[in-house]
Chain A
Amino acid sequence: MIYDVIIIGGGVTGCCIARTLSKYDLNICLLEKEGEVASGTTKANSGVIHAGYAAEREYIKRYLSIRGNSLYTQAAKELNFPFKRIGSFVVALEDDQIKELEEYRKKGIEDGIPGLEVILDTKKIKEMEPHLTHEVVGVLHAPTAGLASPYELTFALAENAATNGVKFFRNHEVVRIKHQDYTFTVRTYQSEFQGRNLINAAGLYAARISKMLGLDYFSIMPRKGEYILFDRNAIQLNKILFPMATKVSKGILVCPTLHGNTFVGPNAQNITDFEDISTTTAGLKEILEGGMKLVPSLPARSSIRNFAGLRAVPDTYDFIIDNTDVYGFINVAGILSPGLTATFAIAEKVVDYLELLGVELKEKEDYNPIRPKPERFKDFTKEELDKKIQEDPTWGRIICRCETIPEREIINAIHAPVGANTVDGVKFRCRPGMGRCQGGFCRPRVIEILSRELGKSYEEITKKGEDSNILVGRTKDFMLKSESGGIRY
């Protein structure tokens, strides 16, 4: 079979393109190298939907993020992912920084960002965000800034795209691409795919994919950002807090999450290893100290998790969204911050390019833009809950006690379109193991459910795909001899 469009990369960009294109009468498939979608840059991302004032005017990322921000309202309605416009502050700690805030405001308003205002009344500022340092002299308030859960958004996009006919292939790492007679042949470790058009949304590996077709006009380097997440009982913020931006990044922010936790991060380290998502002592110290400049009462002792993510930083420092010299090949690369914000606008742009390529874009009659909201125990009233459990007892078996997640939510996450097939996949979809005990109690139960629902043995269940198995064998197995006569390992 020859697909009309093959998308490489199951991050938020790739999945958003897949979902946007699924509206049209096209045969589409998406290839992802990891065991789950949203496994790369998408997973460890601040989740901030920026207002769009920060990037300079010569960059397209500025305009795509402003447009992208406005598209979130409708998308959140259709896709039912967690999203909230809570507003952000850029915090000035010295008088001469006010000038810069004014500059942001002026240009932002001119470019159509709603509601930007500079607030100098520190009493009012402290009322809006009581945890902010008393050294604040003024803030830029951007009311349209918000929070989205990047991986929940991606799961929603993938699910909706799959419902509308897009085929997802996970654990398919692209190793070679051939272009002949207007047809791309994409080779993965397991299989081969043919398509007329190819979209490269491979994130950190986008330059590598592009090079497979001889196009090496850009390069991508990983830039690591580390984060620390705090217990929701320790501190709760109202606003997303940015320091004044530096040349390399928007700085270390202190930010609430949609689930009521708070995180601090990221820092910015240019590195060379494309898989180095390790956190470092120095880095964790740096972000904690950075965060404390904005929120001196950060509860260092109540951190529940630290993690790192890699941004795909192109040498141009701007998004690379191109109809390339290879006919039918579109690069969507270098999607660094504010890429999450811009994602729906980026997908629109890809549609424009496909149109330019002469792809026939006929809207499907049975296209369904709605991805139903996953049913959550926590959203039910007591009466609804009682009824639910009567109808389906798995609603009444609580697996994760920190987050109150019943068995039914986990089963649903596994059997959803493009559903979970690893412990982390379950965790990121419906949160067992995200809480205070970080899976201490529920992990054995999640393994049991995955094993039952997927028909795999306990030892085959992995944390996040190949080679990350959780259990290595049965007890007393050292007494069993293997066929070769040695001790089975």
Chain B
Amino acid sequence: MKSYEVDVAVIGGGSAGLAAAIVVKKAGLQVLIIERDKELGGITLQCIHNGFGLHEFKEELTGPEYVQRFINEAKKLDIPSKLDTMVIEFTPNKTIYAVNNREGLIQIKAKAIILAMGCRERTRGAINIPGFRPAGIYTAGQAQRFVNIEGYLPGRTYVILGSGDIGMIMARRLTWEGCQVKAVVEIQPYVSGLLRNQVQCLEDYDIPLITTYTVTKIHGKDRVKGVTISKVDRKFDRIIGSDKFIECDTLLLSVGLIPENELTREAGAEISEMGGPIVDNNLETTIEGVFACGNVLQVHDLVDLVTAEAKRAGLNAIEYIKEKYGKKIEKREKIKCISGENVNYVKPDLINKSDLSKDIIFTFRVKRPDRRILIQFKDDKNKVVFKRKRRYVIPSEMIELKLNLSEQQIDPDCKSLEVEVIPRPEVLIEED
């Protein structure tokens, strides 16, 4: 078995893995990217629409253009990568086992590991749509791959379930291919993707968006022949008598993304309820020296934010190797971050008390849209340590806050910090 030793091994060569590897290499450490596909770039490669790079490069790029800049830089820096290589296991002592068809099984011993495996799409089973199981049902990302990479059309007439970003982008993409998108059906009363995609992908092409409806039956035994959609009540139960039949030969699902953490879980890292690993403010998982960034940690709305997060993970891995690797580390005291009112999740999950004087970046998403709200951080004695007004919040936008907790005079004995998004008191008074 071939064996390698590196300072930092990065699992995943997409937007997150590339940005992290570049930071590490620039600091003069050895890095290796392990990528399962035959080229670097990850899922961004099939996102041929524009809208990438507005934060990172202050210009508007397509997905492949965006990620190519990182691939070029990695090439310039001579960052080694193993392509077509699948990691089958990594251990808490940071040994990675991977296979490829050139070297067989390989072993990579690293001082630190950065996880950047991205996410996968939720499937039909996860949402339990009744009906037949014919051909013609795809996740939006799978259809995107067929159309943009392989050059094949999965169907001619479509219904898209879920108004996630990929679903809306595919609605436009397929319209360009001469296909007909009959409707985008969303169970929530609001669009689950970004507003700009609603405008640019659906409204500009007169594609009907049907909210508070869901697909309740799939017709067709061999190939999809149509779907029944039904209105749902507040508990998402079908309202009897509201059924409508839509003829189509393909159903696309855009019903959410799940961080891909099988390896992480098998290695023994704790995983949060939303699917990403539990991390501290250094993006370090519960396994020492293993960091996570990008969609494997939390599903991002913009690739630019993935890049920013990955750079932080890279810097933290460098610091870990320089300051802590090989040294006995005392058990660090931590503050737990809790999701409060209207908060779906919050990252980091833990804050090291020793890092309280540093700037900490919090990222979170709300459960439902709201306007004129207050974001509040409360300690375990219900004392508000930080608050900020915001005009609106929507679940599709990730909220990012940089905060220095010691400046906010947090009690050093505090055990937990609750993040909540509540209506502003003055708004409540107005409405009374």
| Cβ < 8 Å to A, chain B residues 130-172 | 130-136, 139, 141-142, 145-147, 149-156
User: A438 near B: Cβ within 8 Å?
Assistant: yes
Task: List the B residue with the shortest CB-CB distance to A306.
Answer: B128
Contact B146 A283 (CB under 8 A): no
Name A278's contact: one of B131, B145, B147, B238 (CB within 8 Å).
B131
Contact A401 B86 (CB under 8 A): yes
Q: Would you give the 0/1 interface string for B189-233, flagging 1 where the beta carbon is closer than 8 Å to chain A?
A: 000000000000000000000000000111001110000000000
Name A389's contact: one of B101, B147, B262 (CB within 8 Å).
B101
Task: Give Cα distance in the complex from A476 to B141, angstroms.
Answer: 19
| Cβ < 8 Å to B, chain A residues 329-358 | none
Contact A398 B128 (CB under 8 A): no
Chain A residue contacts of B376, Cβ below 8 A: none
User: A464 near B: Cβ within 8 Å?
Assistant: yes
Chain B residue contacts of A478, Cβ below 8 A: 177-178
User: A218 near B: Cβ within 8 Å?
Assistant: no
Contact B132 A277 (CB under 8 A): yes
User: A436 near B: Cβ within 8 Å?
Assistant: yes
Of the candidates B36, B121, B128, B150, the one having the most CB atoms from chain A within 10 angstroms of its own CB is B128
Contact A277 B152 (CB under 8 A): no
Contact A284 B153 (CB under 8 A): no
Task: List the A residue with the shortest CB-CB distance to B250.
Answer: A472
User: B327 near A: Cβ within 8 Å?
Assistant: no
User: B123 near A: Cβ within 8 Å?
Assistant: yes
**Given A437-B120, A473-B152: A389 and B104 interface contact (C-beta under 8 Å):** yes
* Total A-B Cβ pairs within 8 A: 148
User: A444 near B: Cβ within 8 Å?
Assistant: yes
**Given A440-B123, A467-B222: A396 and B104 interface contact (C-beta under 8 Å):** yes
**Given A303-B128, A382-B105: A464 and B135 interface contact (C-beta under 8 Å):** yes
Contact B153 A472 (CB under 8 A): yes
Contact B218 A472 (CB under 8 A): no
**Given A386-B105, A398-B99, A478-B177: A463 and B134 interface contact (C-beta under 8 Å):** yes
**Given A284-B130, A474-B153: A278 and B105 interface contact (C-beta under 8 Å):** no
Per DSSP, chain A at the interface is: mixed
Name B121's contact: one of A229, A307, A440 (CB within 8 Å).
A440
User: A59 near B: Cβ within 8 Å?
Assistant: no
Contact A281 B101 (CB under 8 A): no
What's the least CB distance linking B327 to chain A, in Å? Answer: 31
Contact B153 A279 (CB under 8 A): no
| Cβ < 8 Å to B, chain A residues 380-425 | 382-383, 385-390, 393-398, 401-402, 404, 406
Task: Give Cα distance in the complex from A301 to B258, angstroms.
Answer: 13
Contact B101 A393 (CB under 8 A): yes
Contact B130 A283 (CB under 8 A): yes
Task: Give Cα distance in the complex from A480 to B275, angstroms.
Answer: 45
Name B223's contact: one of A385, A386, A468 (CB within 8 Å).
A468
Task: Give Cα distance in the complex from A303 to B146, angstroms.
Answer: 26
Contact A470 B135 (CB under 8 A): yes
Name B102's contact: one of A280, A396, A440 (CB within 8 Å).
A396
Contact B101 A394 (CB under 8 A): yes
Chain B residue contacts of A484, Cβ below 8 A: none
**Given A387-B104, A389-B99, A440-B142: A233 and B128 interface contact (C-beta under 8 Å):** no
Of the candidates A229, A303, A389, A465, the one having the most CB atoms from chain B within 10 angstroms of its own CB is A389
What's the least CB distance linking A481 to chain B, in Å? Answer: 13
User: A57 near B: Cβ within 8 Å?
Assistant: no
Task: List the B residue with the shortest CB-CB distance to A277.
Answer: B132
**Given A472-B153, A472-B154, A474-B153: A382 and B135 interface contact (C-beta under 8 Å):** no
Name B154's contact: one of A401, A437, A468, A471 (CB within 8 Å).
A471
Contact A383 B36 (CB under 8 A): no
Q: Would you give the 0/1 interface string for A450-487, flagging 1 where the beta carbon is closer than 8 Å to chain B?
A: 00000000110011111111111111111100000000
Task: List the B residue with the shortest CB-CB distance to A487.
Answer: B178
User: A441 near B: Cβ within 8 Å?
Assistant: yes
Task: Give Cα distance in the complex from A383 to B106, angstroms.
Answer: 10
Task: List the B residue with the shortest CB-CB distance to A423.
Answer: B135
User: B386 near A: Cβ within 8 Å?
Assistant: no
User: A315 near B: Cβ within 8 Å?
Assistant: no
Chain B residue contacts of A396, Cβ below 8 A: 99-104
User: B371 near A: Cβ within 8 Å?
Assistant: no
User: B249 near A: Cβ within 8 Å?
Assistant: yes
What's the least CB distance linking B152 to chain A, in Å? Answer: 4
Task: Give Cα distance in the complex from A444 to B262, angstroms.
Answer: 22
User: B353 near A: Cβ within 8 Å?
Assistant: no
Chain B residue contacts of A275, Cβ below 8 A: 221
Task: Give Cα distance in the complex from A397 to B36, angstroms.
Answer: 9
What's the least CB distance linking B95 to chain A, in Å? Answer: 11
Chain B residue contacts of A390, Cβ below 8 A: 104
User: A228 near B: Cβ within 8 Å?
Assistant: yes
Contact B128 A444 (CB under 8 A): no
| Cβ < 8 Å to B, chain A residues 162-202 | none
Contact A437 B123 (CB under 8 A): yes
**Given A389-B101, A472-B249: A277 and B133 interface contact (C-beta under 8 Å):** yes
Task: Give Cα distance in the complex from A268 to B257, angstroms.
Answer: 34
Contact B105 A475 (CB under 8 A): no
Of the candidates A228, A233, A279, the one having the most CB atoms from chain B within 10 angstroms of its own CB is A279
User: A305 near B: Cβ within 8 Å?
Assistant: yes
Task: Give Cα distance in the complex from A402 to B258, angstroms.
Answer: 13
**Given A385-B99, A443-B142, A466-B222: A475 and B151 interface contact (C-beta under 8 Å):** yes
Contact A279 B123 (CB under 8 A): no
Contact A386 B1 (CB under 8 A): yes
Task: Give Cα distance in the complex from A395 to B155, angstroms.
Answer: 33
Name B101's contact: one of A383, A385, A397, A462 (CB within 8 Å).
A397
User: A489 near B: Cβ within 8 Å?
Assistant: yes
Contact A462 B135 (CB under 8 A): yes
Task: Give Cα distance in the complex from A275 to B121, angstroms.
Answer: 30
Task: List the B residue with the shortest CB-CB distance to A307.
Answer: B133
Task: List the A residue with the shortest CB-CB distance to B218.
Answer: A278
Contact B147 A475 (CB under 8 A): yes
Task: List the A residue with the shortest CB-CB distance to B88.
Answer: A404
Chain A residue contacts of B104, Cβ below 8 A: 385-390, 396
**Given A278-B217, A473-B152, A475-B151: A385 and B142 interface contact (C-beta under 8 Å):** no
**Given A385-B105, A390-B104, A398-B36: A303 and B99 interface contact (C-beta under 8 Å):** no
**Given A444-B150, A464-B135, A472-B154: A233 and B265 interface contact (C-beta under 8 Å):** yes
Chain B residue contacts of A468, Cβ below 8 A: 134-135, 222-223
User: B325 near A: Cβ within 8 Å?
Assistant: no
Chain B residue contacts of A283, Cβ below 8 A: 130
Task: List the B residue with the shortest CB-CB distance to A478.
Answer: B178
What's the least CB distance linking A381 to chain B, in Å? Answer: 10
Chain A residue contacts of B178, Cβ below 8 A: 478-479
Chain B residue contacts of A305, Cβ below 8 A: 123-125
**Given A303-B128, A307-B133: A437 and B121 interface contact (C-beta under 8 Å):** yes
Chain B residue contacts of A470, Cβ below 8 A: 135-136, 154
Contact B97 A382 (CB under 8 A): yes
What's the least CB distance linking A257 to chain B, in Å? Answer: 14
User: A304 near B: Cβ within 8 Å?
Assistant: yes
Contact B155 A472 (CB under 8 A): yes
| Cβ < 8 Å to B, chain A residues 267-318 | 275, 277-281, 283-284, 301-307
User: B428 near A: Cβ within 8 Å?
Assistant: no
9 contacts between A and B (CB under 8 A): A382-B1, A388-B104, A389-B100, A438-B123, A463-B222, A467-B223, A474-B151, A475-B153, A478-B177
Sorted nearest first, the 7 A-B pairs with minimum C-beta distance are: A478-B178, A393-B101, A305-B125, A396-B101, A389-B104, A463-B135, A467-B222
Q: Which residues of B contact A (CB under 8 A)?
A: 1, 36, 84, 86, 88, 97, 99-105, 120-121, 123-126, 128, 130-136, 139, 141-142, 145-147, 149-156, 177-178, 216-218, 221-223, 238, 249, 258, 262, 265
Additional pairs, 18, CB under 8 Å, beyond known A281-B216, A303-B125, A393-B102: A228-B128, A229-B125, A278-B130, A278-B131, A305-B125, A387-B104, A389-B101, A395-B101, A396-B103, A398-B99, A406-B99, A440-B141, A441-B142, A444-B142, A463-B135, A467-B223, A471-B154, A472-B155
